[in-house]
């Protein structure tokens, strides 16, 4: 896909996410890796619902601005995933309501934020890690993500929101949406003793689909 098409795709998906209330105001950001190793990334203080393809920030492989508006201050989040997850070609970071709410619950396991609730959550988002709170734009959050050693393609930042990567922008967006919907399901069912997927059912998914599950106890009642 050429640069013009990638710019248009960022704007298309950004508007879709914004219009459905998945990231309010000027929150959230999107990046896509370029064939030359640089990136396209949404500008700082830009609403994902009103992006201009011509003003998308273009960065060189070292993260320096080449053209467009000043980039989002959340560059460290994106760079950490690109550096540690080799197949990453796009990153989506939102402030989606249910995913943020999930990070505030005391019972959340940082190594597996959500239980295996649905097959499509596992197939698209894999397993999700929780990173402790850092102020927005703090470079330390990148070190925390790097500390996950590329084992996760979906991460939740405590009291902040999801950061999800994919093989292309469509995959990253779909995985982010699946994470948000699964967080919503968890909150709806919390305290009701729901039936999750069994270990055998999870293993069956792993045999048939490229499910990314770091070594962890997946067995839930």
Instruction: Tell me the per-residue pLDDT of 111-153, one tens digit each, with 9 for 90 and over.
Output: 999 999 999 999 999 999 999 999 988 889 999 999 999 999 9
Q: What is the pTM of this model?
A: 0.93
pLDDT for res 180: 98
d(CA 115, CA 122): 10
Could you tell me if residue 153 is inside a domain?
yes
Could you tell me if residue 154 is inside a domain?
yes
Torsion sign over Cα 213, 10, 163, 58: positive
Could you tell me if residue 213 is inside a domain?
no
pLDDT for res 215: 63
Could you tell me if residue 215 is inside a domain?
no
Per the structure, the complete domain to which residue 147 belongs is given by 3-208
Active-site annotation holds for 121 = no
Please write the tens of the pLDDT for every residue from 86-110: 999 999 999 999 999 999 999 999 9
Could you tell me if residue 128 is inside a domain?
yes
Could you tell me if residue 165 is inside a domain?
yes
Torsion of CA 145, 151, 157, 162, to 10 degrees: 120
Could you tell me if residue 217 is inside a domain?
no
Residue of 82, 120, 121, 133 marked active site? 120
d(CA 205, CA 169): 23
Could you tell me if residue 173 is inside a domain?
yes
Confidence bin at 216 (pLDDT 50/70/90)? low
DSSP string, 69-136: SPBPTTHHHHHHHHHH-TT--EEEE---HHHHHHHT-TT-BTTBSS----HHHHHHT-SEEEEPP--T
Confidence bin at 34 (pLDDT 50/70/90)? very high
d(CA 65, CA 129): 30
Q: Quote the number of domains for the chain.
A: 1
Residue 220 has pLDDT above 90, yes or no: no
Domain containing 72 — which CATH number? 3.40.225.10
Torsion sign over Cα 46, 134, 80, 20: negative
CA atoms within 13 A on the CB side of 195: 2
Residue 24 has pLDDT above 70, yes or no: yes
* CA distance readout (Å), 219 to 67, 112, 203: 49, 11, 10
Percent of the chain with pLDDT over 90: 89
């Amino acid at each position: 896909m050429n640069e013009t098409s990638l710019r248009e795709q960022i704007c298309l998906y950004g508007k879709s996410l914004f219009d459905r209330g998945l990231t309010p105001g000027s929150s959230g950001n999107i990046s896509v890796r370029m064939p030359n190793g640089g990136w396209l990334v949404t500008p700082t203080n830009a609403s994902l619902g009103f992006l201009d393809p011509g003003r998308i920030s273009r960065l060189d492989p070292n993260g320096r601005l080449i053209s467009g508006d000043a980039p989002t201050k959340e560059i460290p989040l994106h760079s950490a995933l690109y550096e540690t997850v080799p197949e990453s070609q796009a990153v989506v970071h939102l402030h989606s309501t249910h995913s943020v709410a999930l990070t505030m619950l005391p019972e959340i396991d940082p190594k597996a934020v959500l239980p295996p609730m649905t097959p499509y959550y596992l197939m698209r988002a894999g397993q999700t890690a929780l990173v402790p709170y850092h102020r927005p734009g703090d470079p330390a959050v990148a070190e925390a993500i790097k500390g996950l050693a590329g084992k996760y393609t979906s991460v939740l930042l405590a009291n902040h929101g999801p950061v999800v990567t994919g093989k292309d922008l469509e995959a990253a967006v779909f995985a982010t949406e699946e994470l948000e919907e699964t967080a919503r399901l968890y909150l709806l069912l919390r305290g009701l003793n729901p039936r999750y997927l069994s270990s055998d059912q999870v293993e069956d998914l792993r045999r048939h689909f490229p499910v990314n599950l770091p070594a962890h106890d997946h067995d839930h009642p």
